[in-house]
Structure 1
Amino acid sequence: MPHKHNAARRHHIGKMKFKVTNWAEYDAGLRQRGNLTVWVTSEAVDGWAAPRRKTRGGQKRYSDLAIETALTLGLVFGLRLRQAEGFLTSVLRLMGLDLAVPDHTTLSRRANKWRLPNKRQGHRLPGKEPVHVLVDSTGLEIYGAGQWLEEKHGAKSRRRWRKLHLALDADSGEIIAHVMTDQDDGDATQVGALLDQIDDPVGQFTADGAYDGNPTYDAVTKHSAGGAVVIPPRANAVERPDTDLSCQRDRHIAAINADGRMKWQAATDYGKRSLVETAIGRYKSIIGHRLRARSFAAQQTEVAIGCTILNRMLACARPKSVRCVTNTA
């Protein structure tokens, strides 16, 4: 109510407008995301069956490639394991390929024991500037009774959450690292695990105020000694040069006290942090806000495949937008 009463006397800041400069290319890429045209290379056909095991134990029938293909199709098209099995069977039959399809029991069992490699594949050209890393986290629902049932009837709820931590490349928008933890794990505790997945040197590490503290600064310094850490300090933060906390934080506090938080955000390029929030929204709108797998290991596999799917979709269609400047007389 106070905001509404004072709306006439407040200084209104207009919303920034952007224009997509490659709309024709971007529009074609968005349509390409839904293209059902599927092709299988000869290398994939040869590697469909698992290599013969030379040690003692059971022999796998399907390779990791076959399991990944079935799980990926199921995640893209929102299919359960049985429906993914039938979908892949029909696709291979229409393509005239005599390949065995993993059944839903095999998919469930292999998803608990196998995950996509988290290590980032280096695609940046030699001599290019270090990567600008954006980090944030979000919650994903898991199987269980709803919170409404617990609040309304006092029933014991089985509903819990998983926390997905993402690291984004600010230049390409690609998810370069991810970690999934329980809902009680703090954001700052997973910075080291995210940076361990990035081979490239970190030029700048940007995150919100939840990551403010010694663990984040120490993890970034350990990974890349010259990396800049851009994290907004708390509103009541003061300079403490006598502590072992990184002096970068003291410089941020001094700049905010001298010029204000808005100028500090513009000077440090903090506004790019919204890109990781956009990536989180993209994950929940395309992959979903709820995990389908029941076990923690299978949920890790699901998240890994989901991040790979988003990177592939982003490679098909990536908008190039510029800010529209309006002339006011």
Structure 2
Amino acid sequence: VYGNGEWHTRKHRASKRRTWRKLHLAIDAASHDIVSAELSMVNVSDGEVLGDLLRSLRRNVDRVTGDGAYDTRDCYDEIAAKGAVARIPPRENAQYWEKGHPRNSAIILMHQFGLKHWKEKSGYHERSLAETGVYRFKQLTGDKLTSRTFNSQHTEVMIKAKVINTMNMLGMPEYR
């Protein structure tokens, strides 16, 4: 949740006493609402949290779009359990999975026409709306947490998400 300076400090082992948390958001592309949010420790991967994000939803989900970090069997299983279609770019050296797996068609399309074509055909561009949602979250509520304990930080994030959703309900900007 801290800015990239904190991430950079952690990655390159510079000494700082602060630690950082990872905020995972599930955003509805149509309404721009944050439909699910999870806060995790720095050592938890994005793919590990996807199941928690999806299982907490009480709504129908027709598609899940994520970056290559979600290209795991567990993520595809969680998405299939929700009855949704996965829009996840396979890794560059991706191998085929069992026959009939939906990921295989993405690999075939990418091998034949390239990543750009797959992105256009699959609607992967909707992921940019999620990135915009994260940007909006940070700009409107700040990129730091004031609470000290993990549980309080989790509550703080949920309150911030509710604030963003309330603002969305009041009206989004119109572009002409």
Tell me, in whole angstroms, the C-alpha distance in 2 between the residues paired with 1:221 and 1:305: 30
Does residue 236 of structure 1 match 2:93? Answer: yes
Correspondence for 1:190: 49
2:28 to 169, 173, 181: 169
Tell me, in whole angstroms, the C-alpha distance in 1 between the residues paired with 2:24 and 2:175: 26
- Contact map agreement 1:169 1:176 (CA 8 A) in 2: yes
Does residue 201 of structure 1 match 2:60? Answer: yes
TM-score (norm 2): 0.89
- Contact map agreement 2:97 2:103 (CA 8 A) in 1: no
Correspondence for 2:163: 309
Does residue 249 of structure 1 match 2:103? Answer: yes
Tell me, in whole angstroms, the C-alpha distance in 1 between the residues paired with 2:77 and 2:150: 29
Q: Note the residue ranges of structure 2 that are not aligned, 5 or more in a row.
A: none
Which digits, 9 at most, give the CA deviation of each residue in 1:265-299, with x for residues without a partner? 11111001001111111111111111111111110
Bigger Rg, which one: 1
Amino acid in the other structure paired with 1:140: Y
The alpha carbon displacement at 1:263 in A equals 1.4
Correspondence for 1:140: 2
1:264 to 114, 118, 123: 118
Correspondence for 2:149: 295
Deviates more, 1:303-312 or 1:260-269: 260-269
The alpha carbon displacement at 1:320 in A equals 4.0
Amino acid in the other structure paired with 2:114: G
The secondary structure found in structure 2 opposite 1:140 is: coil
Alignment: residue pair count: 170
Tell me, in whole angstroms, the C-alpha distance in 1 between the residues paired with 2:167 and 2:80: 33
The secondary structure found in structure 2 opposite 1:202 is: coil
Amino acid in the other structure paired with 1:236: N
Correspondence for 1:71: none
Tell me, in whole angstroms, the C-alpha distance in 2 between the residues paired with 1:240 and 1:286: 42
Tell me, in whole angstroms, the C-alpha distance in 2 between the residues paired with 1:279 and 1:170: 9
The alpha carbon displacement at 1:198 in A equals 1.0
Q: Note the residue ranges of structure 1 that are not aligned, 5 or more in a row.
A: 1-138, 323-329
TM-score (norm 1): 0.49
Equivalent positions of 1:1-329 (< 5 A) are 139-140=1-2, 147=9, 151=14, 157-224=16-83, 227-241=84-98, 247-321=101-175
The secondary structure found in structure 2 opposite 1:310 is: helix
Amino acid in the other structure paired with 1:239: Y
| Identity %, equivalent residues | 33
- Contact map agreement 1:187 1:210 (CA 8 A) in 2: yes
Bigger helix fraction: 2
Tell me, in whole angstroms, the C-alpha distance in 2 between the residues paired with 1:309 and 1:238: 42
The alpha carbon displacement at 1:222 in A equals 1.7
Which digits, 9 at most, give the CA deviation of each residue in 1:53-79, with x for residues without a partner? xxxxxxxxxxxxxxxxxxxxxxxxxxx
Tell me, in whole angstroms, the C-alpha distance in 2 between the residues paired with 1:263 and 1:252: 10
Correspondence for 1:37: none
Amino acid in the other structure paired with 2:161: C
